[in-house]
């Protein structure tokens, strides 16, 4: 007999693997970036090839042997090619390995189709807080403008500070830059300005920092009037983030008063880069020269005394600013002449000025290689160069020479030798003018308390060759182990060489031997080697206390990775300042905690100080306090926590490192007036109805039939959304979950008849809960609704089978098999009855048909098997059928079949149970039989 079929596409044997946005599919360990751990991401599931109306999708997470259902949704075609589900930070709170996978239940029935497991590696170890970057060329008011030296078209210099104690050689530093169309780094970013630059750190970078240059094009040229940029940096080790800084702001204003547009724009308002030098153009031996002005005018942005900044020389280009002439032609070009002062200027190249319409208003920037301006071995001082341009109208004809301007090239750092060129460490060590008299130069509190010793008075050697008053000195005091290095002077030095350093800087160093070292840099930016680290003094001070660890918040362990939920207030939340991580504290010191909104420094909380008592200090974290930080957020919020030690006369206070904790106080449902209590009296009570239709009363005639559980929201209640899950209960037994596809004003779920049949009399309670999907925290529960329960009728001993979701697919499916992948045998569940005592033999029967009436038998599908009734406390499941029988019933994809099952036994003759006939389907969404063998195509 020919089977009924429907045309379906080919597909492989298993459900396709899922993906996690932001996690590399090619990374087998699935390392989850810290940004995703903080903010969450999405799970991506490809839609399966053989969908049915009402397919049920489970998304599960497995970690530490515990499996959690994240989502249960019901889907009907059509659907997009990929399905997206939120993976929240709460799903990723526990460090270690976790696995995500999904299962499709065909038509919400009993055929499961699982996907492969996707491994995720979770590590919340918080990054260290690095020092913020600086903009050394910005004005006192934090601006970069057209007067910035070196000019902005050479790029923006970002000074990256030292990373002592944080980074190691070989770590990768990344500098991040983003431009904004506001002066405060707020609002939408300017497209095209974002950039990231990597550098492999060397020991010198870690000790002294380094400078990164943000290229003008395109990262700066798109920022014009009243704009800004934010920069920060991070350190990575083996691909893992270990430290990050806060963002630093610089303001950018490239508009010159009185001019029509920003520096670097042409007449049409388009950004233009400086014109580039080409080989010299061959000119006729004799050429006309203007007899009268105006002659061409050039300027070059230089430092004091016409010195060229080292950053300009290092950039590879020097920019000449040519004032536009009054009489212009399209083919105008320029010869550039360069020579050492006192020698003949020579043409080094020609620059076509390009179409008139593309020339910027005001000055035309001309780029020439900085290699033309290298410092020469003689004379001893900087090398003076002269620069001139000659403008040729129309590329020939009339020569228009410019003024001759001078620039000075100094590439020799203080103390370095120029001829022959050699780097020399500066000497001698600074003289400690008011040093203590003892041989060990011991600085103690008594010495420091003397008015004459308010400062460390040092005398520096200022007699080195070519010393300038604007030479810049940096001095460090260094612990003998080198682990702590404090910059104590960063400025120019008077002609006398005398400098004074406040003695308070000594509090930043540990007791013991302290060394001194220094370096010099000149106005051009050339920096000397560091001096030899030399013994300077012996420190013996009353030590400033040190907090080496952030406060412990036990409920967030491990590593502050577990969020704080409303559930946690049941037992109370505390923070502990551990005494083992406090050094140098003294009686009279006080300790308090500071908690701060990580995104808003104005939203903070200081807890009442406690006196240090040489023991752990416990601070209660009350909901009323933390709610102030959480404010009205509708999603988890990051909050920093640190401990602070105060001491009379000690300035500043001593702070611990910050730790970041997550406050997850957001919840679903109407506002709860009793928060943080999770029982919400504002939730509407459910209405339970049986087949008789009587509200909150199940009559005797309802006990063998399905009922309904319904909740209707009040007008002021918020809707239930697709991101929320409602759970329904009666007699504290779960009925069903409800997740809407759109926002709804209430919901209704069926109560299965078996559940109603086993309810006790005369009364039970019903309630419901609502939560954000994907987490079992902050679950709001309604108050109980009383439901009356009538008496229980006696059912007939009909056979049943395991049906996973009879409300959606009342089918014979793989779920009803005793062991689908081994025996592929249907299990008839035989009710206990006095008619079937233990030891009684019955015969289970099965047959498949083409029609629901059971009149068109499918060949080779009849099966029978004897079964002996078990003891009263053992479930009776009678096996019947075989893989061959069920495959004969559905020989190809799309085959339609119906299965009939019953049992017989001998009680004063052969007795037969009432046959049950149902739709038969043992083919999965991926076209596999229950034993995972492939179903043939039609």
> Structure tokens of 724?
């929320």
**Parallel/antiparallel/unpaired status of strands 841-849 and 298-300:** unpaired
Quick one: pLDDT at residue 676? 95
- CA contacts within 13 A on the Cβ side of 763: 4
Cα–Cα distance for residue pair 701/791, rounded to 1 Å: 9
Concatenating the DSSP letter of every residue in 325-366 gives PSS--TT-EEEEEEEETTS--EEEEEEE---GGGSBSSEEEE
Cα–Cα distance for residue pair 353/444, rounded to 1 Å: 69
Q: What is the mean pLDDT of residues 720-726?
A: 95
pTM confidence score = 0.43
Q: Which candidate, 258, 272, 326, places its Cα nearest to that of 294? A: 326
Cα–Cα distance for residue pair 320/300, rounded to 1 Å: 5
Residues 6+ apart with CB under 8 A from 740: 720, 721, 722, 724, 747
Residue 286 has pLDDT above 50, yes or no: no
Task: Give the confidence band of 794 by pLDDT, cuts at 50, 70, 90.
Answer: very low
pLDDT digits (tens, 9 = 90+) for 118-135: 999 898 877 888 999 999
Cα–Cα distance for residue pair 533/514, rounded to 1 Å: 10
- Is residue 143 within 8 Å of 257, Cβ to Cβ? no
Q: What is the mean pLDDT of residues 217-235?
A: 91
Q: Which candidate, 536, 530, 468, 539, places its Cα nearest to that of 509? A: 539
Residues 6+ apart with CB under 8 A from 822: 931
Domain spans, the chain: 19-122, 128-253, 275-411, 421-540, 563-664, 687-789
- Is residue 699 within 8 Å of 678, Cβ to Cβ? no
According to CATH, what is the number of the domain 563-664?
A: 2.60.40
> Structure tokens of 26?
């090619």
Cα–Cα distance for residue pair 803/825, rounded to 1 Å: 14
pLDDT digits (tens, 9 = 90+) for 27-45: 888 888 888 888 899 999 9
- Could you give phi then psi for residue 580, rounded to 5 degrees? -65, -20
The conformation of residue 255, written as its DSSP 8-state character, comes to B
The conformation of residue 754, written as its DSSP 8-state character, comes to H
Reduced to 3 states, what is the DSSP secondary structure of residue 266? strand
Query: Is the C-alpha dihedral spanning 148, 150, 156, 160 positive or negative?
Result: negative
Quick one: pLDDT at residue 909? 56
Cα–Cα distance for residue pair 370/313, rounded to 1 Å: 5
Q: What is the mean pLDDT of residues 513-529?
A: 94
- Is residue 277 within 8 Å of 368, Cβ to Cβ? yes
Strand positions, DSSP E, 758-885: 763-772, 780-781, 785-789, 811-812, 826-830, 841-849, 863-868, 876-880
Lowest mean pLDDT of 377-391, 707-721, 786-800, name the range: 786-800
Residue 437 has pLDDT above 90, yes or no: yes
pLDDT digits (tens, 9 = 90+) for 608-638: 999 999 999 999 999 999 999 998 888 899 9
Are both 563-664 and 687-789 of the same fold?
A: yes
Lowest mean pLDDT of 137-146, 339-348, 718-727, 764-773, name the range: 137-146
According to CATH, what is the number of the domain 421-540?
A: 2.60.40.10
The conformation of residue 657, written as its DSSP 8-state character, comes to P
Residue 258 has pLDDT above 60, yes or no: no
Quick one: pLDDT at residue 285? 56
Residue 261 has pLDDT above 70, yes or no: no
Cα–Cα distance for residue pair 499/478, rounded to 1 Å: 18
Q: ∠ at Cα 852 (751, 897), nearest 5°?
A: 95
Query: Is the model more confident about 808 or about 219?
Result: 219
Quick one: pLDDT at residue 466? 92
The conformation of residue 30, written as its DSSP 8-state character, comes to -
Lowest mean pLDDT of 4-8, 138-142, 889-893, name the range: 4-8
Lowest mean pLDDT of 457-471, 660-674, 778-792, name the range: 778-792
Domain 687-789 has what CATH class?
mainly beta
% of residues, the chain, pLDDT over 70: 94
Residue 819 has pLDDT above 90, yes or no: no
- Mean pLDDT, the chain, rounded, equals 89
Q: Which candidate, 443, 332, 441, places its Cα nearest to that of 389? A: 332
% of residues, the chain, pLDDT over 90: 63
> Structure tokens of 453?
């010793």
Cα–Cα distance for residue pair 493/357, rounded to 1 Å: 50
Concatenating the DSSP letter of every residue in 480-514 gives TTSS-EEEEEEEE--TT-EEEEEGGGGGGS-SEEE
Task: Give the confidence band of 7 by pLDDT, cuts at 50, 70, 90.
Answer: very low
Q: Which CATH number fits domain 19-122: 2.60.40, 2.40.30, 1.10.10, 3.10.450?
A: 2.60.40
Lowest mean pLDDT of 25-34, 383-392, 904-913, name the range: 904-913
Strand positions, DSSP E, 76-123: 82-87, 96-105, 112-114, 118-122
Q: Which CATH number fits domain 275-411: 3.40.50.300, 1.25.40.20, 2.60.120.10, 2.60.40.10?
A: 2.60.40.10
Q: What is the mean pLDDT of residues 372-381?
A: 91
Cα–Cα distance for residue pair 201/197, rounded to 1 Å: 13
Residue 348 has pLDDT above 80, yes or no: yes
Instruction: Tell which CATH architecture fits domain 128-253.
Output: Sandwich (2.60)
Quick one: pLDDT at residue 762? 86
Residues 6+ apart with CB under 8 A from 238: none
Residue 920 has pLDDT above 80, yes or no: yes
Task: Give the confidence band of 270 by pLDDT, cuts at 50, 70, 90.
Answer: very low
Task: Give the confidence band of 397 by pLDDT, cuts at 50, 70, 90.
Answer: low
Q: What is the mean pLDDT of residues 432-448?
A: 94
Query: Is the model more confident about 476 or about 270?
Result: 476
Residue 848 has pLDDT above 90, yes or no: yes
- Residue whose pair of structure tokens reads 């049906």 in the numeric block: 803
Quick one: pLDDT at residue 33? 83
Quick one: pLDDT at residue 358? 86
Q: Which residues partner with 195 through β-bridges?
A: 177
Lowest mean pLDDT of 439-443, 477-481, 745-749, name the range: 477-481
Query: Is the model more confident about 685 or about 422?
Result: 685
Task: Give the confidence band of 102 by pLDDT, cuts at 50, 70, 90.
Answer: very high
- Could you give phi then psi for residue 716, rounded to 5 degrees? -90, -5
Lowest mean pLDDT of 223-227, 338-342, 464-468, 587-591, name the range: 223-227
Q: How many CB atoms lie within 10 A of CB 132?
A: 15
Cα–Cα distance for residue pair 644/654, rounded to 1 Å: 6
Query: Is the model more confident about 543 or about 423?
Result: 423
- Is residue 683 within 8 Å of 675, Cβ to Cβ? no
Task: Give the confidence band of 405 by pLDDT, cuts at 50, 70, 90.
Answer: very high
Quick one: pLDDT at residue 896? 95
Query: Is the model more confident about 290 or about 934?
Result: 934
Helix or strand run (H / E) with residue 886: helix 883-889
């Amino acid at each position: 007999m020919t089977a009924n079929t429907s045309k379906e596409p080919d597909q492989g044997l298993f459900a396709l693997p899922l993906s996690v946005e932001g996690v590399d599919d090619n990374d087998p360990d699935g390392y989850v970036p810290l940004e995703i751990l903080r903010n969450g991401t999405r799970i991506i599931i490809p839609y399966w090839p053989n969908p049915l109306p009402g397919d049920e999708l489970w998304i599960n997470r497995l970690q530490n042997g515990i499996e959690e259902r994240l989502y249960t949704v019901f889907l009907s075609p059509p659907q997009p090619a990929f399905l997206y589900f939120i993976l929240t930070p709460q799903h990723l709170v526990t460090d270690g390995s976790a696995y995500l996978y999904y299962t499709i239940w065909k038509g919400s029935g009993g055929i499961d189709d699982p996907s492969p497991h996707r491994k995720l590696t979770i590590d919340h170890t918080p990054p260290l807080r690095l020092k913020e970057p600086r903009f050394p060329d910005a004005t006192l008011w934090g601006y970069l403008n057209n007067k910035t030296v070196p000019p902005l078209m050479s790029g923006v210099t970002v000074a990256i500070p030292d990373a002592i104690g944080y980074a190691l050689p070989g770590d990768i530093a990344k500098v991040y830059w983003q431009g904004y169309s506001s002066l405060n780094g707020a609002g939408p970013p300017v497209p095209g300005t974002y950039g990231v630059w990597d550098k492999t750190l060397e020991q010198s970078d870690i000790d002294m920092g380094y400078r990164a240059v943000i290229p003008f094009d395109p990262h700066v040229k798109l920022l014009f009037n009243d704009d800004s940029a934010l920069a920060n940096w991070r350190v990575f080790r083996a691909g893992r983030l270990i430290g990050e800084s806060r963002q630093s702001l610089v303001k950018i204003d490239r508009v010159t008063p009185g001019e029509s547009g920003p520096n670097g724009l042409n007449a049409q308002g388009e950004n233009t880069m400086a014109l580039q030098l080409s080989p010299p153009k061959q000119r006729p031996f004799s050429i006309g020269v203007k007899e009268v002005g105006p002659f061409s005018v050039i300027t070059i942005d230089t430092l004091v005394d016409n010195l060229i900044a080292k950053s300009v020389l290092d950039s590879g280009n020097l920019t000449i600013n040519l004032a536009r002439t009054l009489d212009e032609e399209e083919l105008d070009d320029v010869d550039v002449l360069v020579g050492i002062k006192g020698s003949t200027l020579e043409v080094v190249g020609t620059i076509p000025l390009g179409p008139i319409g593309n020339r910027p208003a005001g000055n035309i920037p001309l780029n020439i290689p900085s290699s033309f301006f290298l410092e020469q071995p003689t004379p001893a001082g900087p090398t003076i160069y002269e620069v001139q341009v000659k403008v040729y109208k129309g590329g020939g004809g009339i020569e228009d020479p410019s003024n001759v301007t001078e620039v000075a090239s100094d590439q020799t750092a203080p103390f370095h030798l120029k001829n022959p060129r050699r780097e020399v460490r500066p000497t001698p060590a600074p003289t400690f003018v008011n040093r203590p008299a003892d041989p060990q130069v011991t600085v103690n509190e008594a010495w420091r308390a003397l008015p004459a010793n308010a400062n460390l008075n040092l005398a520096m050697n200022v007699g080195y060759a070519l010393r300038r008053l604007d030479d810049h000195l940096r001095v460090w005091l260094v612990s003998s182990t080198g682990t702590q290095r404090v910059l104590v002077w960063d400025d120019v030095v008077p002609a006398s060489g005398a400098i004074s350093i406040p003695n308070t800087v000594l509090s930043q160093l540990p007791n013991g031997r302290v060394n001194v070292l220094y370096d010099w840099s000149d106005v051009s930016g050339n920096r000397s080697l560091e001096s030899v680290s030399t013994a300077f003094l012996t420190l013996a001070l009353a030590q400033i206390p040190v907090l080496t660890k952030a406060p412990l918040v036990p409920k967030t362990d491990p590593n502050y990775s577990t969020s704080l939920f409303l559930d946690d207030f049941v037992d109370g939340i505390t923070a502990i300042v551990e005494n083992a991580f406090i050094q140098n504290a003294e009686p009279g010191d006080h300790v308090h905690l500071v908690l701060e909104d990580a995104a808003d420094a104005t939203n903070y909380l200081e807890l009442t100080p406690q006196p240090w008592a040489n023991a752990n200090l416990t601070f209660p974290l009350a909901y009323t306090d933390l709610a102030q930080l959480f404010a009205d957020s509708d999603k988890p919020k990051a909050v920093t926590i640190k401990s602070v030690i105060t001491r009379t006369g000690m300035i500043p206070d001593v702070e611990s490192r910050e730790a970041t904790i997550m406050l997850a106080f957001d919840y679903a449902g109407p506002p709860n007036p009793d928060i943080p209590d999770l029982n919400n009296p504002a939730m509407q009570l459910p209405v339970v109805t049986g087949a008789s239709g009587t509200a909150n009363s199940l009559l005797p005639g309802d006990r063998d039939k399905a009922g309904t559980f319904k909740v209707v929201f009040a007008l002021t209640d918020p809707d239930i959304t697709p991101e929320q899950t409602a759970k329904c209960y009666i007699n504290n037994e779960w009925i069903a979950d409800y997740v809407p596809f759109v926002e709804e004003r209430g919901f209704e779920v069926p109560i299965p008849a078996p559940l109603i049949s086993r309810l006790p009399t005369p009364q039970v309670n019903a309630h419901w809960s609502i939560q954000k999907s994907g987490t079992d925290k902050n679950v709001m529960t309604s108050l109980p609704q009383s439901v009356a329960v009538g008496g229980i009728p006696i059912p007939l001993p009909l056979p049943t089978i395991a049906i996973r979701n009879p409300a959606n697919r009342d089918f014979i499916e793989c779920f009803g098999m005793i062991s689908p992948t081994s025996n592929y045998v249907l299990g008839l569940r035989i009710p206990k009855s006095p008619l079937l005592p233990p030891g009684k033999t019955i015969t289970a029967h099965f047959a498949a048909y083409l029609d629901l009436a059971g009149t068109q038998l499918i060949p080779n599908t009849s099966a029978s098997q004897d079964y002996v009734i078990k003891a009263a406390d053992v479930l009776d499941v009678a096996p019947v059928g075989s893989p061959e029988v069920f495959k004969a019933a559905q020989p190809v994809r799309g085959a339609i079949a119906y299965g009939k099952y019953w049992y017989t036994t001998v009680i004063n003759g052969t007795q037969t149970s009432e046959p049950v006939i149902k739709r038969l389907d043992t083919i999965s969404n991926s076209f596999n039989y229950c034993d995972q063998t492939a179903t043939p195509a039609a």
